[in-house]
């Protein structure tokens, strides 16, 4: 799409000449001879840049620019005048006008300024769009979890996100701790700053200190230049320390100092570096056991454990298997551009009957595998990984397992089963609510209410 420029100039020859030159630059041009016409054109559609004459017959360009900037603060305005003064230039810049040129206009200079202004606007728009997409992606309602246990997690995290409190996410591997950590960051007041992630278990102990705190030039063999650590990079933002239970004892004291004093030294350095970082930590380890074994500092544990949040394993939230399956199926069908329309009931029963020791990550991998292997319009049982049909896939179907769960009351059991039945009916009918309602003996209004209630 062409970028759009409004030229406001009362001299017809200058107006048409500038329009002709800029159209040759593959720009869409709109012309106005006075302030009234300019305001009318501006109100009709969005412009990327305005080329404005200072002296107009009905209003001066500075006054008109003030009106335009009030309506669209990010608009780029370049002022042109035959009567350039330092005072006018200063006033223009104070108002937010991008640049100020005196006539006669140097066309090469004008084109350079226009290109620079449009490039800046493009970069700002792309950055805002990216941040908007990230924020939407990591909103809690976009993280799949309809079960009561996950809803409790979301409610707790929604309260925490607005604060700077340290969060400790606990749960088995594959439960989605990284996704929750990103959601906390992108819903917080720090969302416009960096979120830096590091896995404490994936980096050798002799390199981990440098990764976290940075090092000075010559601090050790191979340190050819100064390097900032993750804490410095995350300043004003969020630092996510995954697998915090694997942090070596030698570094736990230094981490504790940073959390208490908000400052540290780089490896080989003597200067204190102050940082403002919100910390989110995660672990699948039994920290209490590690403390008892003297492998994890008790004072660090209490400093991290300000807001503890337990992410339940998938086997304890069976209601989420169906929605997660549908979500991953849609994701990989779109990614691989396949014509798969759904998943057979036999395949769904296998998914429901499995214990998922690898949790959500294992389920996602299974669905991606099935999408690749599927040759028809629906994923069949044989398309799923072979281990799902082996000895470990001997669990009860969802309904039996929900009924046997002594932690659930009758109301919760009823709702879990009803939700799964409705989801299956919608899946079988291609999300046709009229047909699904008829299958279950509901009125369409009742089904719509239940779909809303269960977030289907």
Record the tokens describing residue 350, joined without a space: 């296998």
Number of CB atoms found within 10 A of residue 143's CB: 19
Record the tokens describing residue 217, joined without a space: 């030039």
Q: What is the pLDDT of residue 81?
A: 80
Q: What is the pLDDT of residue 368?
A: 93
| C-alpha to C-alpha distance for 249 and 330, rounded to whole angstroms | 44
Record the tokens describing residue 313, joined without a space: 């394993």
Q: What is the pLDDT of residue 243?
A: 92
CA dihedral 394, 400, 406, 407 (to 10 degrees): 90
User: Residues in the chain with pLDDT < 70?
Assistant: 83-95, 124-142, 389-408, 454-456
Q: Which residues lie below 8 Å from residue 33, measured CB to CB, with a gap of 6+?
A: 9, 10, 12, 15, 57
Residues 77/69, Cβ–Cβ less than 8 Å: yes
Which residue ranges form the domains of the chain, and what is each CATH number? Answer: 4-133 (3.40.50.2300), 140-312 (3.40.50.300), 315-405 (1.10.8.60), 408-456 (1.10.10.60)
The predicted-structure confidence for 405-423, as pLDDT tens digits, reads as follows: 666 677 777 777 787 788 7
Residues present in the chain in total: 456
The predicted-structure confidence for 72-116, as pLDDT tens digits, reads as follows: 888 888 988 876 555 565 666 666 788 888 888 888 888 988 988
Q: Tell me the pTM.
A: 0.59
Residues 456/422, Cβ–Cβ less than 8 Å: yes
């Amino acid at each position: 799409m062409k970028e759009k420029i409004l030229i406001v100039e009362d001299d017809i020859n200058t107006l048409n000449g500038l329009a002709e030159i800029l159209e040759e630059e593959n720009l869409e041009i709109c012309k106005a001879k006075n302030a009234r016409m300019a305001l009318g054109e501006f109100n009709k559609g969005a412009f990327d840049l305005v080329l404005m004459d200072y002296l107009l017959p009905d209003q001066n360009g500075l006054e008109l620019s003030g009106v335009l900037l009030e309506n669209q603060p990010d608009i780029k305005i370049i002022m042109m005048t035959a009567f350039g003064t330092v005072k006018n230039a200063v006033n223009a810049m104070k108002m937010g006008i991008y640049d100020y040129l005196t006539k006669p206009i140097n066309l090469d200079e004008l084109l350079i300024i226009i290109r620079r202004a449009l490039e800046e606007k493009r970069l700002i728009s792309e950055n805002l769009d990216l941040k908007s997409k990230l924020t939407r992606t990591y909103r809690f309602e976009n993280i799949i979890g309809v079960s009561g246990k996950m809803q409790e997690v979301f409610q707790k995290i929604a309260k925490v996100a607005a604060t700077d409190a340290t969060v400790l996410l606990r749960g088995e591997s594959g439960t989605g701790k990284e996704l929750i950590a990103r959601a906390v960051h992108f819903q917080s007041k720090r969302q416009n700053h960096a979120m830096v992630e590091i896995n404490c278990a994936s980096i050798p102990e002799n390199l981990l200190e440098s990764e976290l705190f940075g090092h000075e030039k010559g601090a050790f063999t191979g340190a050819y230049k100064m390097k900032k650590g993750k804490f410095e990079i995350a300043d004003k933002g969020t630092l996510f320390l995954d697998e915090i239970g694997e942090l070596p004892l030698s570094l736990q004291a230094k981490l504790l100092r940073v959390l208490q004093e908000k400052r540290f030294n780089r490896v080989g350095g003597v200067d204190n570096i102050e940082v403002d970082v919100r910390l989110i930590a995660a672990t699948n380890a039994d920290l209490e056991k590690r403390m008892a074994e003297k492998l994890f500092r008790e004072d660090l544990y209490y400093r991290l454990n300000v807001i503890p949040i337990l992410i339940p394993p998938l086997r304890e939230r069976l209601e989420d298997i169906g929605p997660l399956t549908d979500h991953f199926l849609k994701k990989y069908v779109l990614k691989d551009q396949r014509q798969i329309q759904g998943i057979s009931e036999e395949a769904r029963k296998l998914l429901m009957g499995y214990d998922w020791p690898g949790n959500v990550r294992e389920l996602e991998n299974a669905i991606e595998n099935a999408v690749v292997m599927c040759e028809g319009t629906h994923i069949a049982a044989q398309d799923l990984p072979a281990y799902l049909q082996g000895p470990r896939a001997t669990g009860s179907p969802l309904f039996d397992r929900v009924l046997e769960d002594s932690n659930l009351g009758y109301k919760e059991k009823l709702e879990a089963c009803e939700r799964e039945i409705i989801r299956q009916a919608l899946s079988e009918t291609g999300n046709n609510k009229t047909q699904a309602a008829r299958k279950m003996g509901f009125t369409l209004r009742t089904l719509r209410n239940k779909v809303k209630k269960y977030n289907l």
